[in-house]
């Protein structure tokens, strides 16, 4: 792709390299996208953080995606207000998805009552149950299980050994990574004198369009109501949504993040790694929860929260600073106690 074509695709402003406008040979055909520190001529790179600004004068990349014009850049500049997003779109051009060949492997089991679009790709050892619907251009990798009356929306890709239980519905362009289970029973038991009685989980799971779920993750079906994952939400590996939870649109759940039953989070919410949200808690739009936190009550205002229990980040930092001073304060108290004891002893001497 030529540099000018990439600028048009990204809707970025294109600045020629120093002196390039005069000789007119700078609009080259880009060959690769590479890290700024090791980029070679013919490649495009980017900078989204000032931590990497030191590489700008020396990078050999032919073009750099930047947020604003930078005088130290020796190559061409693609100026975009969101360089990280522009980098992602550029990477998609250089590394497009694998082209699949439509067809059904003879080793796959497809129930006669299932509806499978002719453009879908069904790999060996896929199992498609009665009444399931597989949309156009869907790709099901080996070992995928599709339960009864489940629906897989068009252009969705399910990697190896994904399990989609009965009645679960996936929207368009879903990407579900290997080993993930959608629609397993929620963890619902009623304790009694003779043990724990299982509560039938009769809800389902509804996955919106453009959702990506990482490997070995679980989204449990609801007890009565559906578990819902909003459009554009991205879940990392080893994440968990309990029964009846809902996420808004464009949320981010990092690895080992978990929502307990009936927790509800708004749009554009970020849940950090190893963070838990307890049952029935609600998070407002654009709440961000830091890693290793525990959310035990509603967070009604947008902002950054951290700690256990999760609290505004500024409050948490002040508490940590106070804790770090405790040892110093303890030493001062001990010294004062020794002084008081010495003064008391001196007064007792006749």
d(C-alpha 208, C-alpha 173), whole Å: 9
d(C-alpha 234, C-alpha 208), whole Å: 11
**Residue in the structure block whose two tokens are 């996208």:** 33
Q: Give catalytic residue positions.
A: 243
Q: What is the mean pLDDT of residues 75-88?
A: 96
Look up residue 337 and give its two tokens.
Answer: 């106690």
Query: What share of the chain has pLDDT > 90, as a percent?
Result: 84
Question: Regarding beta strands 205-207 and 227-229, do their DSSP bridges make them parallel or antiparallel, or are they unpaired?
Answer: parallel
Query: What are φ and ψ of residue 113, in 5° steps?
Result: -85, -5
**Residue in the structure block whose two tokens are 């399910």:** 158
d(C-alpha 4, C-alpha 125), whole Å: 46
| pTM of the entire predicted model | 0.88
Name the band, by pLDDT with cuts 50, 70 and 90, for residue 343: confident
Question: Regarding beta strands 311-312 and 303-306, do their DSSP bridges make them parallel or antiparallel, or are they unpaired?
Answer: antiparallel
Look up residue 225 and give its two tokens.
Answer: 């109501």
The rounded mean pLDDT for the chain is: 94
At residue 23, the pLDDT reads 60
Domains and CATH numbers, the chain: 3-94 (3.40.1390.10), 103-312 (2.160.10.10)
At residue 350, the pLDDT reads 59
At residue 265, the pLDDT reads 98
User: CA gyration radius for the chain?
Assistant: 28
d(C-alpha 322, C-alpha 326), whole Å: 7
At residue 335, the pLDDT reads 87
pLDDT at 252 over 90: yes
Cis peptide before 309 (omega within 30 of 0): yes
CA 274 to chain centre: 13
d(C-alpha 22, C-alpha 79), whole Å: 20
At residue 57, the pLDDT reads 95
For residue 2, give the H/E element and its range: none
**Closest Cα partner for 213 from 290, 136, 157, 285?**
157
20-29, 208-217, 309-318: which range is least confident on average? Answer: 20-29
Name the band, by pLDDT with cuts 50, 70 and 90, for residue 327: confident
Q: What is the mean pLDDT of residues 243-269?
A: 98
d(C-alpha 36, C-alpha 79), whole Å: 16
Name the band, by pLDDT with cuts 50, 70 and 90, for residue 30: very high
Going along 237-345, which residue ranges are E strands? Answer: 240-241, 246-247, 252-253, 258-259, 264-265, 270-271, 276-277, 282-283, 287-289, 294-295, 303-306, 311-312
Q: What is the mean pLDDT of residues 14-27?
A: 77
185 touches 221 (CB < 8 A)? yes
Look up residue 140 and give its two tokens.
Answer: 């099901």
d(C-alpha 87, C-alpha 110), whole Å: 41
Look up residue 144 and give its two tokens.
Answer: 């995928």
At residue 222, the pLDDT reads 95
- 88-99 confidence digits (pLDDT tens): 999 999 999 888
Q: Which residues pair with 110 in a beta bridge?
A: 128
At residue 180, the pLDDT reads 98
d(C-alpha 8, C-alpha 125), whole Å: 44
Q: What is the mean pLDDT of residues 130-138?
A: 98
What's the count of helices (H) and strands (E) in the chain, helices before strands? 4, 38
230 touches 250 (CB < 8 A)? yes
**Closest Cα partner for 267 from 244, 283, 245?**
283
**Around 57, how many Cα atoms within 13 Å sit in the side-chain half-sphere?**
3
- 272-315 confidence digits (pLDDT tens): 999 999 999 999 999 999 999 999 999 999 999 999 999 999 88
Q: Which residues pair with 299 in a beta bridge?
A: 283
At residue 24, the pLDDT reads 62
137 touches 122 (CB < 8 A)? no
- 150-188 confidence digits (pLDDT tens): 999 999 999 999 999 999 999 999 999 999 999 999 999
């Amino acid at each position: 792709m030529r540099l000018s074509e990439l600028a048009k695709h990204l809707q970025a402003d294109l600045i020629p390299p120093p002196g390039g406008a005069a000789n007119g040979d700078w609009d080259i055909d880009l060959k690769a996208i590479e890290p700024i520190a090791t980029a070679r001529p013919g490649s495009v790179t980017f900078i989204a953080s000032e931590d990497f600004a030191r590489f700008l004068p020396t990078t050999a990349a032919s073009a750099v995606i930047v947020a604003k014009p930078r005088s130290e850049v020796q190559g061409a500049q693609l100026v975009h207000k969101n360089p990280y997003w522009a980098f992602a779109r550029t990477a998609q051009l250089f590394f497009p998805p694998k082209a699949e060949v439509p067809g059904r492997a003879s080793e796959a089991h497809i129930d006669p009552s299932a509806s499978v679009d002719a453009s879908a790709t069904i790999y060996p050892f896929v199992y498609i149950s009665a009444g399931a619907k597989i949309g156009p251009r869907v790709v099901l990798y080996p070992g995928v299980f599709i339960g009864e009356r489940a629906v897989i929306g068009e252009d969705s890709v399910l990697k190896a050994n994904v399990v989609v239980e009965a009645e679960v519905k996936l929207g368009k362009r879903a990407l579900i990574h290997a080993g993930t289970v959608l629609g397993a029973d929620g963890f619902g038991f009623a304790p009694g004198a003779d043990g724990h009685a299982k509560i039938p989980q009769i809800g389902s799971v509804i996955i919106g369009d453009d959702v990506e779920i990482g490997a070995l993750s679980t989204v449990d079906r609801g007890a009565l109501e559906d578990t819902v994952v909003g459009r554009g939400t991205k879940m990392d590996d080893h994440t968990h949504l309990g029964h009846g939870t809902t996420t808004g649109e464009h949320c981010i759940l990092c690895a080992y993040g978990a929502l307990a039953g009936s927790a509800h989070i708004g749009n554009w919410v970020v849940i950090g790694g190893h963070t838990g949200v307890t049952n029935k808690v609600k998070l407002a739009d654009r709440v961000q929860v830091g890693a290793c936190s525990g959310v035990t009550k509603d967070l009604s205002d947008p902002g950054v929260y951290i700690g256990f229990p999760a609290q505004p980040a500024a409050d948490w930092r002040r508490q940590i600073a106070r804790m770090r001073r405790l040892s110093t304060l303890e030493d001062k108290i001990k010294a004062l106690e020794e002084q008081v004891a010495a003064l008391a002893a001196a007064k007792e001497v006749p």
